[in-house]
Structure 1
């Protein structure tokens, strides 16, 4: 009997020493914890604020991001080049005007009337129309079935109105002359309209589409090409690296004088912008 008890005791010790330890069991069944960081509304708004925005002003004042402008360019570059082939208007000008006038497709007229160029009804217009506040309240603007109709009507508008005829004497890829010429012909009342168009063209390489259409006949734009009521001696075309401070020192005037002569509300200037210096 004693031998049997001793045998059972030894068996129990052996089983206990070979069984899984408490630590091993815990490790086998433990789950890996993954830390999830949830973005608060504050962190999301801060990230959005860091993304560069651009305010496009004309028939609509719209704030857009650069990627929205790039999407607009990708969507309408082909029709702009087709219109250039048909009517001789630089694709860069068509795209820049579309971006500026329509708020890159996000403006009120673009959404409600497919009007991408801010073209008003004018005498003889028999198509659809919408009422929109611009220079005056409740002005009549053209309405189109789709954006492509707006692009085509823009080409016809420029080619059939006598006041724009002189534009077609410029080189087909001379977007600088076209930008200043549009302002001179009265397309827009904004005094900085040419500079805004030129800035969009150069920042987004819109002139590359002119080059695609013209091929070997493309002639690079000379920065001094412009249409101005001022003499060249009294005008400076903003180049890369220019600031109001550097220009004030160069021409021996104060920053305040430059701002006043050019009706600037701030010290920001754009490449291609025409500034009076005297």
Structure 2
């Protein structure tokens, strides 16, 4: 009797384990039509808004919840800025918008879709898609998303969609250096249903100075608006070695450069939080 009970219990456990589905399933040639190109929906309107805070990390919510540091975001920008500028020249989409959407939709390249499918823009399947696909829970369970051979292919597809679909035609009458109008226009055209989508794009553009790449393509001089950075705190004690903060620096990256703890950096420079500004002088030794 004991053996029969044990066998029955083992059988039930095997059935239960075999019934679970993976979070992402890869297939090929599947077709799925969605109302929105990207992954953002009104369901995510309560997600954490990416703004300057006292922390060196933030949570980006797209098709997955991703914790990233500013170093990760800066690395993403550095890696894909040339692709974004190339697509701006070819398709007329501001590089700042391309990069901001990539950061937001892919979790700066760390989100599930970016890692497993090279999909950096949360682009779902449409009837004209014949490539590989993955299935992932988003607005609804088990939704179909496009899978790419590499991230650059994802950037290319994003540019093709925005530049060729009629719903986005009105965007191309906007000035190429008006990223705010483009951000609002994308949401109005139906790229995403999240009411805060434009604000999030604009926030990334201004925090990471992504509009400098628009200016490079347009041949315009770029001047950093220091009002977008933290307040510069003068250093009065200059007995130690002083370092001037460069664009893209964070307390963490500076601490690694000079082999000093972040907390020691804050203490030496009387910093109340992790915010620093370009041109700010910090005692590092």
TM-score normalised by L of structure 1: 0.60
Q: Does 1:210 align with 2:196?
A: no
Is 1:126 the equivalent of 2:135? no
**2:77 is the counterpart of 1:73:** yes
CA distance in 2, matches of 1:58, 1:108: 9
**How far apart, in 2, do the equivalents of 1:194 and 1:56 lie?**
15
Q: Compute the displacement of 1:159 (Å).
A: 1.1
Matches within 5 A, 1:39-58: 52-58=56-62
Equivalent of 1:167, from 168, 171, 182?
171
SS of structure 1 residue aligned to 2:80: helix
The 3-state SS of whatever aligns with 1:141 is strand
Of 141, 144, 150, 2:145 maps to 141
Task: Tell me which residue corresponds to 1:235.
Answer: none
Q: Distance in 2 between matches of 1:100 and 1:70?
A: 13
Partner of 2:241: none
- Indicate conservation of the 8 Å contact 1:69/1:99, yes or no: yes
Please, what is the CA RMSD of the aligned residues? 2.0
1:59, CA displacement in angstroms? Answer: 2.1
- Structure of larger gyration radius: 1
Secondary structure of the equivalent of 1:56?
strand
Equivalent residue of 2:122, what SS?
coil
Report the Cα distance in structure 2 between the residues aligned to 1:60 and 1:162, rounded to whole angstroms. 29
Shift of 1:240: 6.8
Query: Quick one: which of 56, 59, 62 aligns to 2:66?
Result: 62
Q: Which runs of 5+ in 2 are unaligned?
A: 1-53, 230-285
Asked whether the equivalents of residues 134 and 144 of structure 2 are also in contact (C-alpha less than 8 Å), the reply is yes
CA contact (8 A) 1:54 1:64 kept: yes
Which deviations, in whole Å up to 9, do the C-alpha atoms of 1:31-58 show, x marking residues without a partner?
Answer: xxxxxxxxxxxxxxxxxxx851111122
Task: Note if contact 1:173-1:219 (Cα within 8 Å) is conserved in structure 2.
Answer: no
Tell me the distance in 1 between the aligned counterparts of 2:141 and 2:164: 27
Higher helix share: 1
The answer to which structure, 1 or 2, has the higher relative contact order (CA under 8 A, 6+ apart) is: 2
- Paired residues in the alignment total 173
Is 2:179 the counterpart of 1:193?
A: no
Task: Please name the residue that 1:264 is paired with.
Answer: none
Q: Deviations over 1:142-193 (max 9, x none)?
A: 0000000000000001011111110011011211000000111111121100
Give the CA deviation at 1:219. Answer: 10
**Partner residue of 2:97 out of 93, 96, 99:** 93
Mapped contact 2:124–2:144 kept (Cα < 8 A): yes
Q: Secondary structure at the match of 2:145?
A: strand
Q: With structure 2 as the length reference, what TM-score do the two structures score?
A: 0.58
Indicate the residue corresponding to 1:176 in structure 2: 180
What is the distance in 2 between the residues matched to 1:51 and 1:190? 25
Instruction: Give unpaired runs (5+ residues) of structure 1.
Output: 1-49, 221-238, 242-278
